[in-house]
Structures are given as C-alpha cells and as structure tokens.
C-alpha cells in the first residue's frame, strides 16, 4: 500500500470539518499523526497516509477543498 | 579531524547513526549533525585556523567531513569588504559586504555542496544529485567534476537557457522536467528515494546544510575574531540563515570569539516570502506559498527550515524584511554602482532589505553590519538588461565630442 507523508497547514479558524477523521472514514485511508502544533485552530499537522494511491489523492483533494493547505512533509526539494 | 557524534532529530531528539539520513523515522522532523564541541575547543585555535587552507576547509574541525585536498574546489574564504560607497549612501558607519558571489561556481552553494560531496564520498557514494533552478545545479556539477563523482541535476524545463549553461559546462547528466513547480518537487523526492545517490539537499542534507556554518566562521575571523552587531542574509529554505548563526554561536562556545550579540535579519522577496510574512504576522507557523518572484534563487514556497529561521530571529533579537519585486533590480544596481560588485536577485533582495532595516531604525548608524551577497549577477542578466544603453557614435572624434556634449547637457 502506498504511503504518503504530508504537512497540513490550518490557517483558517473557520475550518469546522473534523478533517483527519473524515479522511479515514470517507476515503478509507489510514492516518497517523507524527507531529503537530495547533493552537486555537491554527497550526500544522505532519500526517502519514496509507491506502490506495487513488484514495490518498482523492482524500488530499478533499482536504484542500475545505481550505487546508497540503504540502510535502519535508519541504521543497527544488532549490535555487 | 571531524568531531561528529551522531545525527539527531531537531524535534524529538532521537539519535541516529552518521549515515545518509535526513528525516526522523519517528516524527519526520529534520535531522542535524551533533558535534563534540568540547573536543573541537581542544583541537582548534585561531592560529590553527589562520594557517589552514584558503577555503572553507580551514574550519574542518567544525565540519562533518574530513579535509581532502584532492577534492578541495576552493569554495569559501571569499572577501569581506569594508563598504565605502554603499555605507555612505545608506548612512552607516561600519558596513561590511561578504562577497560570496566569487565562489568557484559563483554562489555560496559551493560551500554546502563541497561539504556534501566530501561526506558523500566518505559514505561510499559515487554519484551526487540535486534538483535546482540554478545555483545549486552549478555547484553540484562543478564540485562533482572536481571530486570525480558522477552527477545528475534536475531542472524545471522552463528555466532560462542562460542559467542552464553555468551547470551544463561541467558536463553533468542534466534532466529537464516538464511540469509545474509542485510536480518537479514531487518527482525529485521520489527519484531521491529510489536511487542510490547522494541527493545533496535530501538524504545528505544534514551535512550539506553545515557547509553554510562557514559563512558565520569566516565573517568572525575576517572581522578580527568578533561577531558583528547585525547580519543581513537572503533566505529561501532558511537553512543558510540558521547556519550562519549556528556558526557564530559555535565560535563563541569554543572560545574563539567572545559573546555573540548579532541580530540576524532574513530578507525575502514579496513574490515568495513565507518566512518574512510569518514574522510580520507574529506567528511561527509557515504558510507555504506558490513562488512568483524575480529573485528566482529564493523561490522556495515550502521552506524546510522556515520555522528554525524564525527561531533564530527570535533568539537573536533580529527580524525579517521584505523587498518589493520592483526594488530587487534596484538593489542589484545600487550594489554594483557603489561597490563594483555584480550580484543576482538574491543579492538585490539583501541590499534592499538592508536599506529598509536602516530606514526603519532597526539598524542604527553606529552599529556594525555584515550583508551577505550570495550569488553572482552574470547568471541572471535578464534582471537588469535595461542598464545596457551605450552612446552609439560614428567612428570619429567629432561624433564622440558631440555625443559627450549632448550627454553633459542632459
Ligand atoms: C544566491 C542564493 N542566495 C541565497 C539562497 C538561500 O539559501 P537557503 O535556501 O539556505 O535559505 C539561495 C538558494 O536557495 C541562493 O541561490
Ligand atoms: Zn524526531
């Protein structure tokens, strides 16, 4: 099963969806929080996702659609 | 001799062996090299450093790889110049310019890659690789040529032809990728995962990053073994910025210089300012951005060391500053006209940032300042192409004199 490591950034206090829970329930993707820093709804989560590639892609697409930023967990690899 | 103890996760402090590893298995935090500072303090001295090679390897005691003269490309030990014209223009008494644009492949990236390559060879790699929009590709290809390694450089296919040449000349295997910036990023991390190469800013990143500590050591040595009141440096991933400070702090910890009070200022361009924006909004959460800036070498939207750069700003009492896009070329021209140094966009951002820091009173006239000029303007001539405006004349003296008279009248 493919595994993907992402950083979710929450900068909008208005996000009311239980994002990580729904990734597991609606997309059948297993999630594992590795590290997080969230205060009053603002912050980030380093998340490991395991599932079918299509499910992971769909799940992340949905996460983006509710206003959460999705990036690779370890930063850009293309440098100047 | 190298005094490395281990690699350690910057987040959860788990220890790892000294291998090609860059992220913690447990929490995905970045790994950093841990040194035995007491052993370094015993081994090093001002005299030993001063009699060492005229390259960053004079600081080998503080680096994660052994000095190997056979592959030394003479990265580092670049000039630190006391500014006259620019200092006067900005209203500063003691301004120094660290001119790192004169490294072997014309940017500070030669420092990080020199260290990465030396370590990669020690670890048994025969191939070194990177994904880059310019300077890093040049450095990897050049250092690989010098050290006899194979090299692979991945570039976005829409890169200007002129920029590619500076890397291609060293004959690496160059792969141009057709896709968005995010696609290129994703593909390169996948490639890095599946090939037995030293990918400089991925699997050997902890060693690579420490090459930038030498930007701190050198300035302290060149200032006569002291740290400046302020340092201004451009940031993309934020790695270099944090390592300059670590370098100064290590010199303090090993007794080579006294108390470090340097305020660290990070400069970014408006079109890609995730670190400076977080600073301005007073948060430690980086909001990744889609880069769109004239300072192409600073275009990292999801900076791996952004958080640590913010921590350095906080610890040092420094700041972050933004250069507007329309100020970048002006910064490049100002440095060229006042000091005779031709830098690229990143240098234009640093100079503009410095100007703003003086204007806003964050840097005072009587304080000592070092500004880091990290890349060379000849790689990105498009940025200032409008300066080419010669007086065109017929080949005779009358034409010349008439043209000069017309010019003086303007
Ligand atoms: C000329 C120049 N200056 C500064 C930087 C920023 O370095 P860092 O990514 O370590 O912040 C880069 C590259 O990323 C660069 O090419
Ligand atoms: Zn960890």
pTM over 0.80: yes
Please compute the mean of the pLDDT values over residues B182-187 and round it to a whole number.
87
Model confidence at B291: pLDDT above 80: yes
In a domain, residue B394? The reply is no
User: Contact at 8 Å (CB) between B127 and B141?
Assistant: no
ipTM of the complex: 0.88
pLDDT bucket at B139, cuts 50 / 70 / 90: very high
Question: How many structural domains are present in chain A?
Answer: 1
In a domain, residue B57? The reply is no
pLDDT bucket at A16, cuts 50 / 70 / 90: confident
In a domain, residue A79? The reply is no
Query: How far is Cα B123 from Cα B21, in angstroms, rounded to an integer?
Result: 11
- Domain residues for the domain of A36 are 3-72
Model confidence at B182: pLDDT above 90: no
> pLDDT tens across B187-209, in order?
999 999 899 999 999 999 999 99
> pLDDT tens across B226-248, in order?
999 999 999 999 999 999 999 99
Mean pLDDT of chain B: 96
DSSP A15-53: --S-HHHHHHHHH--EEEEEEEEEETTEEEEEEEEES-H
**Which pLDDT does position B147 carry in this prediction?**
94
Query: In CATH, what number is assigned to the domain containing residue A56?
Result: 3.30.70.260
In a domain, residue B221? The reply is yes
Query: In CATH, what number is assigned to the domain containing residue B350?
Result: 3.40.50.1100
In a domain, residue A78? The reply is no
* Residue A35 contacts B, CB cutoff 8 Å: yes
**Which pLDDT does position B201 carry in this prediction?**
93
Asked if A77 and B28 come within 8 Å (Cβ–Cβ), the reply is no
* Nearest in space to B379 (alpha carbons), one of B257, B288, B323, B295: B295
> pLDDT tens across B35-73, in order?
999 999 999 999 999 999 999 999 999 999 999 999 999
What is the CA(B19)–ligand 1 centre distance, in A? 25
* Residue A74 contacts B, CB cutoff 8 Å: yes
**Which pLDDT does position B2 carry in this prediction?**
87
- Domain residues for the domain of B325 are 80-106+209-386
Question: How many structural domains are present in chain B?
Answer: 1
User: Is the CA virtual torsion B110, B112, B115, B118 positive or negative?
Assistant: negative
What letter would DSSP give residue B60?
G
What is the CA(B164)–ligand 2 centre distance, in A? 37
**Which pLDDT does position B293 carry in this prediction?**
95
Smallest Cα distance from B90 to chain A, Å: 28
**Which pLDDT does position A77 carry in this prediction?**
94
* Residue B202 contacts A, CB cutoff 8 Å: yes
Please compute the mean of the pLDDT values over residues B363-383 and round it to a whole number.
96
Query: What is the share, in percent, of chain B residues with pLDDT greater than 90?
Result: 93
User: Residues lining ligand 1, judged by CB closer than 6 Å?
Assistant: A 79-80; B 107, 109, 135, 234-241, 297-298, 300, 346, 374-375
Please compute the mean of the pLDDT values over residues B151-160 and round it to a whole number.
90
Angle of helix B135-147 versus helix B109-122 axis, rounded to 10 = 40
**Which pLDDT does position B186 carry in this prediction?**
87
């Amino acid at each position: 099963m493919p595994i993907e490591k992402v950083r979710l950034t929450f900068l909008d206090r208005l996000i009311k969806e239980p994002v990580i829970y729904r990734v597991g329930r609606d997309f059948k993707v297993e999630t594992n929080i590795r590290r997080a820093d969230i205060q009053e709804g603002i912050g980030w989560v380093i998340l490991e996702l395991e599932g079918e590639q299509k499910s992971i892609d769909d799940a992340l697409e949905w996460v983006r659609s509710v206003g959460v930023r999705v990036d690779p967990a370890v930063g850009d690899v293309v440098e100047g | 001799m190298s005094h490395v103890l281990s690699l350690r996760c910057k987040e959860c402090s788990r220890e790892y062996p000294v291998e090609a590893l860059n992220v913690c298995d447990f929490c995905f935090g970045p790994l950093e090299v841990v040194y035995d500072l007491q052993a370094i303090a015993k081994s090093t001295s001002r005299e030993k450093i001063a009699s060492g090679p005229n390259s960053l390897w004079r600081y080998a005691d503080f680096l994660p790889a052994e000095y190997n003269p056979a592959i030394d490309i003479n990265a580092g030990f670049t000039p630190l110049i006391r500014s006259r014209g620019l200092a006067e223009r900005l209203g500063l008494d003691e301004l120094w310019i660290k001119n790192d644009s004169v490294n072997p492949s014309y940017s500070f990236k030669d420092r990080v890659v020199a260290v990465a390559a030396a370590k990669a060879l020690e670890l048994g790699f025969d191939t070194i690789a990177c994904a880059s929009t310019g300077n890093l590709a040049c450095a990897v290809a050049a250092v690989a040529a010098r050290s006899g390694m194979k090299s692979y450089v991945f570039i976005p296919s829409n890169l200007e032809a002129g920029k590619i040449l500076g890397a291609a000349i060293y004959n690496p295997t160059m792969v141009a990728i057709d896709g968005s910036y995010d696609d290129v990023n994703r593909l390169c991390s996948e490639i890095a995962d599946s090939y037995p190469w030293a990918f400089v800013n991925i699997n050997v990143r902890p060693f690579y990053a420490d090459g930038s500590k030498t930007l701190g050591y050198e300035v302290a040595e060149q200032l006569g073994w002291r740290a400046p009141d302020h340092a201004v440096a451009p940031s993309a991933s934020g790695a270099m910025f944090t390592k300059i400070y670590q370098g100064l702090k290590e010199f303090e910890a090993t007794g080579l210089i006294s108390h470090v009070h340097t305020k660290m200022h990070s400069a970014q361009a408006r079109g890609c300012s995730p670190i400076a924006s977080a600073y301005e909004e007073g948060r430690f959460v980086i909001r990744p951005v889609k880069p769109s800036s004239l300072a192409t070498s600073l275009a990292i939207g999801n900076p791996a060391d952004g958080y640590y750069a913010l921590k350095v700003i906080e610890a040092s009492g420094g700041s972050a500053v933004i250069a507007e896009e329309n100020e970048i070329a002006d910064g490049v021209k100002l440095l060229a006209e006042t000091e005779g140094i031709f830098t690229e966009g990143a240098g234009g951002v640093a100079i503009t940032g410095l100007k703003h820091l003086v204007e806003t009173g964050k840097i005072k006239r009587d304080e000592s300042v070092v500004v880091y000029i990290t890349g060379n303007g000849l790689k990105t001539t498009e940025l200032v192409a409008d300066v080419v405006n010669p007086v065109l004349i017929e080949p005779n003296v009358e034409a010349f004199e008439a043209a000069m008279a017309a010019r003086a009248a303007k």
